[in-house]
Structure 1
Amino acid sequence: MTQPQGAHLVGSINFDDAETTLRTAAQHLGAHLKRIPDGEVGERFHWIAFQPDRLARAEGLERVGSEPIRLRDLDVRPVKLAPGVKAEELILPPLGYADAALESWAIFARLLDEGAIRPGTRFQVALPTPVGVVGSFVAAEDRAAFEPVYQAALLAELDRILAGIPHESLAIQWDAALEFAIIEAAGYRQQSRAWFEDVWSYPVERLAELVARVPEDVEVGVHLCYGDAGEKHFVEPTDTANLVRFANELGAAVGRLSTPRVLDWIHIPVPIERDDQAYFQPLSGLDLPARTEFYLGLVHREDGAEGARRRIEAASEFLETFGVATECGFGRAPEGTTIPLFETHRAVASAW
């Protein structure tokens, strides 16, 4: 059985503030981590669910529906263009990602200076893809026109992050989830939220463009996701075939761009019940550069190290080198489960 090397924290972590997240992750997993996120605290607790409240502040956008749809203190109703408004006329407010990253970076930098975080560890900032936000929270008839507007605003957030955090200490993770909802819906002839015809090449090319916007001296990775609402996937993947295809096509697309670069890491999920070789078999076709770290999200709180080892054994038939992670962020897991999850990562993987 392969001994996994290293661990990866996908994003959200079940603590109330960034300092607790950073300190605790460094204390329990420091030697296993190349990067530490701030836990996606505050309004980011449920991934992109805070974006509708941000977008609704823009003049020219309206909510869909008259009654709020509450997720704690968030209103997750989608937005739509007001009558007579063109998408290109919109001026979007700050999306919140840069402000959060810069605030948490100040804490991360202080902890580095104190020695609480190991030298060389990078600060990880997760950003959604425009496909994810637009497909989730924009009215269907407005998605095609609104996507470039949102992408411009998101890239402005990225630029602020790049300007405010030393590049040698920064890592950017692009989170791709709705892409797989669209791909799977097409495969099962379900209703799709896509506003584009080719459900493979379009999201791959869009994500490759985002990857290429990250400078070479900043690490960049991708989290491929099947959702985590209520700790459930929107559909259970049959196996890793679509994940492998997407990863391979993304790597090729990044290499074809005018400013090509190599992904520093890719992460994919592993459902808790999948410790069979059939799930992992498509990984034998994974075609990534040697430099790209590959993380399997096979750590689950429900069965700990024992379950993780079963999934590691099955994956080892098809992969020689990989690290471990949970299948998604665990900011919405039950209270008191975070440190045991850290301990499971440490139990099944070696340090870097």
Structure 2
Amino acid sequence: MWVLLIGSSRVDSTSDFFTQTIRALPNQLRCIPDGEIGNRSNFISWQRPTFPITILQPRRGGQPTAESAAKQYTLEDIKPTGYDDQAIVSYATFCELRDSGTIPAGVRFQVSLPTPLCVVRGLVEDDRVCAQVEPLYEQRLLSALRRIQDHIPASDLTIQWDIPIEIAMLEYNRHRLQDKYWKPYFTPVKAGILDRLTRLAAAVDLGVEMGYHLCYGDMGHTHFVQPDDSGLMVELANEISKIIQPSHPIEYFHIPVPKDRVDEGYFKPMQNLELGDSKLYLGLVHANDESGTKKRLEAAEAVHLNIAGVASECGLGRTPREDFESILEICATVTS
């Protein structure tokens, strides 16, 4: 059984992240991220300087005005994302450690990217501005992706798309969320989400592995809403697979599992997954809870799921370092 590392961590350096994870999981990783250390540890927060401060949400340190909401924005107003710079530097470290034998041959370098929708809805205040600047930010992100693919061989690269805001918008549309922070600014919602994901997938070169991290958020170590079960994610994964697989293979889907869900009911909708050759990773590993992790895995296996591997529920950049170490230990135990 494999292990998927979602992305972020509280490790001090990229080299330390690679070394520590390989030491703990020497044969369980098909791909490995760089740990998203430093200012990248809190997911998209480091993208705030990409946008004018006058359109950012106040909760993100923004100072929106009526004038900024009415302005017409151009690409010059949106700065480069920096995802390419970070990936290229980290890939050099990856290669050094692979050449020295620390990282096994065949393990790919994983770059986790948020969707433009995720970043724009997550940071920008006004719906009208969101609709206007999202295509501009998408252009910036796809330029970064192009440069990543130009510098990293396809055979070494895995691109993971992180999609929490998409899940939140779908839950908002089901009236399970009321905060306008999660409100879609386009209709129809699901079709708009799938159109966006299709464009992003088209920008990933054939030969580059591609996966999806479905997410219910981890702000303050809680979800933006607790999923009733895995049903909504199963529905979305099937739609993504149906639309994208014909043009680009999907290597994996990651589906999170809340800590208290040791019941078969949570997993039962996954019997309806239609993922073709894609692998299923379950984010059921929770820190300092080896017995619960085993119970969640047993509940998943009881409904006869084809599980390729396990993972944490979300990224670990907002958890104490000891929790990160606990996650690695439990992953090693349940996959040994």
TM-score bin (small chain): over 0.9
Given the alignment of the two structures, is residue 313 of structure 1 paired with residue 303 of structure 2, yes or no? no
Counterparts of residues 166-181 of structure 1 (less than 5 Å): 166-181=153-168
What residue number does 1:239 align with?
Answer: 229
The 2-side partners of 1:300 and 1:314 are apart by 15
State the shift of 1:205 in Å. 2.3
The 1-side partners of 2:69 and 2:202 are apart by 36
Selected match of 1:268 from 213, 232, 255: 255
Given the alignment of the two structures, is residue 31 of structure 1 paired with residue 34 of structure 2, yes or no? no
What residue number does 1:194 align with?
Answer: 184
What residue number does 1:277 align with?
Answer: 264
State the shift of 1:85 in Å. 3.6
Paired letter, 1:203: I
The 2-side partners of 1:79 and 1:329 are apart by 30
Higher share of residues assigned helix: 2
How far does the alpha carbon of each residue in 1:65-98 deviate from its partner, in whole angstroms, 9 at most, with x for none? 7xx75xxxxx543768837642245342221111
The 2-side partners of 1:308 and 1:137 are apart by 33
The 2-side partners of 1:89 and 1:297 are apart by 37
- The worse-fitting range, judged by mean Cα deviation, of 198-207 and 270-279 is 198-207
Conservation of the 8 A alpha-carbon contact between 2:84 and 2:148: yes
State the shift of 1:62 in Å. 2.3
How far does the alpha carbon of each residue in 1:168-194 deviate from its partner, in whole angstroms, 9 at most, with x for none? 111111100001111111112634421
Q: Give 3-state SS (helix, strand or coil) of 1:221's partner.
A: strand
State the shift of 1:293 in Å. 1.2
Conservation of the 8 A alpha-carbon contact between 2:54 and 2:62: no
The 1-side partners of 2:223 and 2:148 are apart by 30
What residue number does 1:151 align with?
Answer: 138
Q: Give 3-state SS (helix, strand or coil) of 2:25's partner.
A: helix
Paired letter, 2:143: A
The 2-side partners of 1:89 and 1:47 are apart by 23
State the shift of 1:340 in Å. 2.2
Q: Give 3-state SS (helix, strand or coil) of 2:49's partner.
A: helix
Change over 3 Å in CA distance of 1:87–1:48 after alignment to 2: same
Paired letter, 2:49: D
TM-score norm. by structure 2 comes to 0.93
What residue number does 1:18 align with?
Answer: 14
What residue number does 1:51 align with?
Answer: 47
Structure 1: 5+ residue runs without aligned partners?
70-74
Paired letter, 2:40: R
Q: Give 3-state SS (helix, strand or coil) of 1:297's partner.
A: strand
Change over 3 Å in CA distance of 1:84–1:271 after alignment to 2: closer
Q: Give 3-state SS (helix, strand or coil) of 1:50's partner.
A: helix
What residue number does 2:54 align with?
Answer: 62
Conservation of the 8 A alpha-carbon contact between 2:48 and 2:123: yes
Q: Give 3-state SS (helix, strand or coil) of 1:30's partner.
A: coil
What residue number does 1:122 align with?
Answer: 108
- The worse-fitting range, judged by mean Cα deviation, of 111-120 and 188-197 is 188-197
4+ residue runs over 6 A deviation:
78-81
TM-score norm. by structure 1 comes to 0.89
State the shift of 1:112 in Å. 0.5
The 1-side partners of 2:230 and 2:63 are apart by 31
Conservation of the 8 A alpha-carbon contact between 2:280 and 2:309: yes
Structure 2: 5+ residue runs without aligned partners?
none
Conservation of the 8 A alpha-carbon contact between 1:52 and 1:78: no
- The worse-fitting range, judged by mean Cα deviation, of 247-256 and 98-107 is 247-256
Conservation of the 8 A alpha-carbon contact between 2:288 and 2:327: no
The 2-side partners of 1:274 and 1:155 are apart by 37
How many pairs were matched up?
330
Change over 3 Å in CA distance of 1:340–1:79 after alignment to 2: same
What residue number does 1:230 align with?
Answer: 220
Paired letter, 2:195: E
**Kindly, what percent of the aligned residue pairs are identical?**
38
Conservation of the 8 A alpha-carbon contact between 1:53 and 1:76: no
Selected match of 1:7 from 3, 9, 14: 3
Q: Give 3-state SS (helix, strand or coil) of 2:128's partner.
A: helix
Paired letter, 2:300: A
Change over 3 Å in CA distance of 1:156–1:308 after alignment to 2: same
Give the RMSD, CA atoms, in angstroms. Answer: 1.9
Counterparts of residues 32-111 of structure 1 (less than 5 Å): 32-56=28-52, 62-64=54-56, 76-77=61-62, 82=68, 85-88=71-74, 90-111=76-97
How far does the alpha carbon of each residue in 1:295-351 deviate from its partner, in whole angstroms, 9 at most, with x for none? 0000000312x111101111111403331000101121123222221111011124x
Counterparts of residues 244-263 of structure 1 (less than 5 Å): 244-255=234-245, 260-263=247-250
Q: Give 3-state SS (helix, strand or coil) of 1:48's partner.
A: helix
The 2-side partners of 1:55 and 1:64 are apart by 7
Q: Give 3-state SS (helix, strand or coil) of 2:45's partner.
A: coil
Paired letter, 2:27: A
How far does the alpha carbon of each residue in 1:30-66 deviate from its partner, in whole angstroms, 9 at most, with x for none? 210001111111221100011112323xxxx62457x
Q: Give 3-state SS (helix, strand or coil) of 2:109's partner.
A: strand
